Structure 1
Amino acid sequence: MKKKGLAALLLTLILVLVTACGAKGTTDSADKGSAQNDQKKSLKIGATAGPYSDMVTKAIKPLMEKKGYSIEVVEFNDYVQPNKALANGSIDANLFQHSVYLEKFAADNNLDLSPVISVPSIPMGLYSHKFKSVSEIADGSTLTIANDPTNLARSLKLLVDMGLITIKEGANPATMSEKDIADNPKHLVIKPLEAAQLPRTLDSTDLALVPGNFALAAKMDLTSALQLENMQEKYRNVVVVNTKDADSQFAKDLKEVIQSKDFEKVIDEQFKGFSKPEWMTNK
């Protein structure tokens, strides 16, 4: 009986030690994973080709490299892949979208993404080769606008600000479309198209509402617009990361770099006409 009791006691001690070691191993593994995340120094940042890719390359990348990071800029040509690539870990952050689009896209696709900070953004503008002012716009004029969720709501809001249309009460800003127009006193013929096509339509249509990045890509002069957008903060582009990385060191460093005087200097010198967010203008 004594031998059986001693054997049982030894077995109990072994189980306790194994369990303790296993728990420590799990804790050590979690701590190691967290430390690796915080110490990550090689980053891939996605951006749509054009001015925001340029902003990452010219204003963010050099300043992050001064902090010891290795930065690869990954360019995209649509508004879908940058978030999917971020969610699946192909990239570590992206810059191409405003908060309204981010919230809807993340909800629709069950993605856990979070904004880090807003950046200077290009205002949308109403352009025409036929009219020199909003007051000159003729009845029945044809207007092309972007058909993607990122820009359509902004286009309609700019038309409202100019007094050209009104929107139905209760229209959802995230899903708003031309079907939500309540009044159209000038009987504008509104044609939604892919945003990249809009600059070219100015030769064959009366008016075009062109998002700033596509206007610059087409070498359009922002100051030639009949009217530029008075941007709401929720429509300014944001740097985005996976929510699990929102408190990581690299996310904190991205925010610190963008809030720096060196970043603003590059914006002032190389991104003239970009509309600065409130956190930058109210410093």
Structure 2
Amino acid sequence: MRKNVTLVMVLAMIISLLAACGGKEESNNAAAPAPSEGAKLEKPALKIGATAGPYSDMVSKAIKPIMEKKGYTIEVVEFNDYVQPNKALANGSIDANLFQHIIYLKKFSADNKLDLKEVISVPTAPMGLYSKKFKTLEEIKEGSTLAVPNDPANLARTLLMLQDIGIVTVKKDADPSKISEKDIEQNPKNLVVKPLEAAQLPRTVDSTDLAVVPGNFALAAKMDLTSAIKLENMNENYRNVVAVKTADIEAQFAKDLKAVIESPEFEKAIDEQFKGFSKPEWMAKK
């Protein structure tokens, strides 16, 4: 009889303990708040590549601060050539880049079988015609020496700019990918055209009559863009773009990058810190 009573008491204690644990667990579960439907998801850390100089500055000073206000963590990755930024983007080492115009992006992607896509164009440093000897186009003397970039991409832009301002005319059938000074059809002032490496051009401004200097090299040499005799009337195809992998074009971070660049805060940063940059048509029309 005593054994039966003891067994009953033990069973009662076990049931009581189980009930208490169950109640405690239910109590704990009830105390944990359910995530609200509008809860903010944590934004990712992004790596944005850019060539050292004005475009890494643009990411650091005009894009990064606004993206970080949106909750992103941004790391700026600097490159010193025009090959690695796209390869790094394609292999996932970085999430976006800013250094190239759309023509270069499409050709490089096709040549290297990369699937990359532009997000939006940005204000871009224009080429300029610089001189320490002449202040206006009208002052340029016959037979003056004119230093120009020797790579086809920059030379094509140079000759189109010189044609646009009335200094030369270019053959209509000139191939932009193989263009040279031999494609100049008319040269009324008999300028002596001297092709040089683009990076050397800022140094020639002091030693030659005239020099056409691409904007990024001018800024790297601490030149004032607004001191040019004439700045390029930039074709939209030559404006630099933010690029991502095509698979990411609809990703939220790509949409946020586009929204940031379209924001008044971004344009204000450009006006204050990137004087002389040529704005894309979409921005100029706002």
Q: TM-score, normalised by structure 2?
A: 0.80
What SS class does the counterpart of residue 59 from structure 1 fall into? helix
Equivalence for 1:118? 121
Q: Distance in 2 between matches of 1:87 and 1:261?
A: 31
Cα shift readout 1:21-51 (whole Å, capped 9, x = no counterpart): xxxxxxxxxxxxxxxxx98712111111111
Cα shift readout 1:121-147 (whole Å, capped 9, x = no counterpart): 112110011222212222222211223
Bigger radius of gyration: 2
What SS class does the counterpart of residue 213 from structure 1 fall into? helix
Of 164, 174, 185, the match for 1:171: 174
Q: 1:163: Cα distance to partner?
A: 1.6
8 Å Cα contact 1:97-1:150 kept in structure 2: no
Unaligned 5+ segments in structure 1 are: 1-37
Q: In the alignment, is residue 42 of structure 1 matched against residue 32 of structure 2? A: no
Q: Distance in 1 between matches of 2:53 and 2:149?
A: 17
Q: Distance in 1 between matches of 2:90 and 2:75?
A: 17
What SS class does the counterpart of residue 200 from structure 1 fall into? helix
Q: Distance in 2 between matches of 1:157 and 1:107?
A: 25
Which AA in structure 1 matches 2:111?
D
Q: Distance in 2 between matches of 1:149 and 1:98?
A: 14
Q: In the alignment, is residue 211 of structure 1 matched against residue 201 of structure 2? A: no
Q: Distance in 2 between matches of 1:44 and 1:73?
A: 6
8 Å Cα contact 2:152-2:178 kept in structure 1: yes
Q: In the alignment, is residue 226 of structure 1 matched against residue 226 of structure 2? A: no
Which AA in structure 1 matches 2:106?
E
Q: Distance in 1 between matches of 2:49 and 2:191?
A: 37
Of 244, 250, 268, the match for 1:265: 268
Unaligned 5+ segments in structure 2 are: 1-40
Q: Distance in 1 between matches of 2:112 and 2:276?
A: 34
Of 144, 147, 168, the match for 1:144: 147
Q: Distance in 2 between matches of 1:135 and 1:235?
A: 27
Q: 1:194: Cα distance to partner?
A: 2.2
What SS class does the counterpart of residue 49 from structure 2 fall into? strand
Cα shift readout 1:41-89 (whole Å, capped 9, x = no counterpart): 1211111111111110011011111122111111112222212221222
User: In terms of mean alpha carbon deviation, does 271-280 or 49-58 score higher?
Assistant: 271-280
User: In terms of mean alpha carbon deviation, does 83-92 or 245-254 score higher?
Assistant: 83-92
Number of matched pairs: 246
Residues 1-283 of structure 1 aligned to structure 2 (within 5 Å): 41-283=44-286
Instruction: Provide the aligned C-alpha RMSD in A.
Output: 1.9
User: In terms of mean alpha carbon deviation, does 81-90 or 247-256 score higher?
Assistant: 81-90
Which AA in structure 2 matches 1:84?
K
Q: 1:110: Cα distance to partner?
A: 2.0
| Aligned sequence identity (%) | 74
Q: TM-score, normalised by structure 1?
A: 0.81
